[in-house]
Structure 1
Amino acid sequence: MTGYLGDPQRNAQVMAGGYYHTGDVASRDEDGYITYIGRTDDVFKSSDYKVSPFELESVLIEHPAVVEAAVVPQPDETRLSVPKAYVSLAQGWPADADTAKAIMEYARDHLAPYLKVRRVEFFELPKTISGKIRRVELRTREDEAHRSGTPIGTEHRYEDLIR
Structure 2
Amino acid sequence: MSKNITTTRSRAAKAAAKQEDNSFDHFCEMMVRVLLALEEEELAADAGWHMICHQPYCAEVDAAWKLVKIQADKVSELKPRSANEKLLHRMAVLMSCAVSADCIKVLEAARSHAVRCMLKADKDISPEVRDLADEARDGIEQMLEHTSARSCDNNSTRHLPLAA
Q: TM-score, normalised by structure 2?
A: 0.26
Task: Decide which structure has greater strand share.
Answer: 1
Question: Larger relative CO (CA 8 A, sep 6+): 1 or 2?
Answer: 2
Q: TM-score, normalised by structure 1?
A: 0.26
Task: Decide which structure has greater helix share.
Answer: 2
